[in-house]
Amino acid sequence: MSPRIAIVGGGVSGLVAAHLLHRTHDVMVFEAHDRVGGHVSTIDVTAPDGRPHAVDMGFIVYNEQTYPLFAELLRQIGVETQPSDMSFGVRSDRSGIEYGSRNLGALLAQPSNLVRPRFIGMVRDGAGAMSLGEYVDSAQFSAAFAENYLVPMGSALWSLPRGRVLDMPAAFFVRFFENHGMLSVSGQPEWHVVRGGSARYVEALIAPFQDRIRTSAPVARVERRHAHVTVDGEPFDHVVFACHSDQALKMLGDPTRAERDILGALPFQANEVVLHTDSSVLPRSRRAWASWNYHVRSDDEAPATVTYNMNTLQALEAPVTYCVTLNATEAIAPESIVHRAQFSHPVYTRAGMLARERHAEISGLDRTHYCGAYWGFGFHEDGVRSAYTVAKRFGVHA
């Protein structure tokens, strides 16, 4: 009889884990919401000219270079993709500056910037105790570079307030940029989107095990026993927590000291996301419009405010500009709002950086396993990689 595995969470990590395990194990995916996909959220809209469009408002883009596992997964399940136009722009209430650039590396490859050999050397030497803010001060970066380039890009990537970006570990921050080819002017990765919206890949992924998914099925309590685990009283041989760290900790009936310490050091923060057609939230100058448009507010603790130009990212041919905006609902004309959602994103701290290195102390023990993008940089590739790591514990290799 195949081992029964409960997978708690139907985001990318949980679904990829189920994809890898369902052929040789008896899996059941528990998803609290009425749909699976996690941050994959594709909204079907009808433009004023009557043409239909599928607009993404969660996960949007990937590239072959830094998302190799995810890219291979899309090929395996036969999902079509198309090139995307990836650019970054800033509109600052502090300085009044507006700009847009199609080369992310060029923004960071300017005099007195992140590419200094001394900085890269510090990261590679493991001097990771310093926060980004501390390093910016000690390295004497120009205020304009930090204010108008570095912090907005970090805030946009991780959906964090300006103050929390500066609290991030400097080594973590730069390692991400280096791994993603964003510290080089040349050799920038080519970005892609899923044709027809990201939901198309979720549909293809779950097709073989759709009957092993329970939606609208929030889990309240997980108990570990010597010979099995129970999920709200239902017995399984193993449980895979593919939900957020704080959610997993809340479900555990008997968390160990290590689980409390590690999961408790990996917080999340909620962000409000709105799909709309109010282009007034984009930079005032249309020449500064980009795919990602960051709005620098005066308040350091104001939530990250980013507007994604979906017409550009998904090549939508529409008479209106479809935008996805984080944390600026009050600035959006109510009549332009198409859909609202809330997504939670991991908050990266020095304590969390150390906690992530302790994954093996809690995963694979007591019939309990942990996966999720938050164990890495917080992106789709990290979620897929974490699912592969868990699958290997069960002897399954992609």
Residue 88 near residue 292 (C-beta atoms within 8 A): yes
372 dihedral zone (left: phi>0; alpha: psi -120 to 50; beta): left
Q: What is the pLDDT of residue 186?
A: 59
Instruction: State the pairing for strand pair 81-83/323-326.
Output: unpaired
Return the structure tokens found at 396. 């399954």
Radius of gyration of the chain (CA): 21
Residue extents of the structural domains in the chain: 4-36+215-266+348-393, 44-103+188-195+268-346, 104-186
- Give yes or no for residue 66 having a pLDDT over 50: yes
Number of other CB atoms surrounding residue 327 within 10 Å: 20
Position 61, amino acid = V
Handedness of CA 318, 319, 323, 329 (dihedral sign): negative
d(CA 252, CA 260): 10
Considering only the top CATH level, what class is 4-36+215-266+348-393?
Answer: alpha beta
Per-residue pLDDT of 362-388, as tens digits, reads 999 999 999 999 999 999 999 999 999
Average pLDDT estimate for 111-126: 48
Burial (Cβ within 10 Å: 0-12, 13-18, ≥19) of residue 307: buried
Number of other CB atoms surrounding residue 253 within 10 Å: 11
d(CA 78, CA 288): 36
- Give yes or no for residue 17 having a pLDDT over 70: yes
Domain spanning 44-103+188-195+268-346, CATH architecture: Alpha-Beta Complex (3.90)
Per-residue pLDDT of 255-280, as tens digits, reads 999 999 999 999 999 999 999 999 99
Q: What is the pLDDT of residue 126?
A: 45
Q: What is the pLDDT of residue 110?
A: 43
Helix (H) or strand (E) holding 393: helix 380-393
DSSP output for 333-383: -GGGEEEEEEEEEEPP-HHHHHHHTTGGGTTTBTTEEE--GGGTTSSHHHH
With CA atoms as reference, report the closest residue to 324 among 269, 276, 271: 276
Q: What are phi and psi of 140, to 5 degrees?
A: 60, 45
Position 133, amino acid = G
DSSP output for 158-221: HT--HHHHHHSBHHHHHHHHHHTTTT-SSSPPPEEEETT-THHHHHHHHGGGGGGEESS-----
DSSP output for 46-83: E-TTS-EEEEESS--EEETTT-HHHHHHHHHTT--EEE
- Give yes or no for residue 92 having a pLDDT over 80: yes
d(CA 184, CA 52): 38
Per-residue pLDDT of 154-210, as tens digits, reads 899 998 888 888 888 888 887 887 777 666 555 678 999 999 999 999 999 999 999
With CA atoms as reference, report the closest residue to 240 among 358, 345, 372: 372
Q: Do domains 4-36+215-266+348-393 and 44-103+188-195+268-346 have the same CATH topology?
A: no
Number of other CB atoms surrounding residue 219 within 10 Å: 22
Q: What is the pLDDT of residue 106?
A: 45
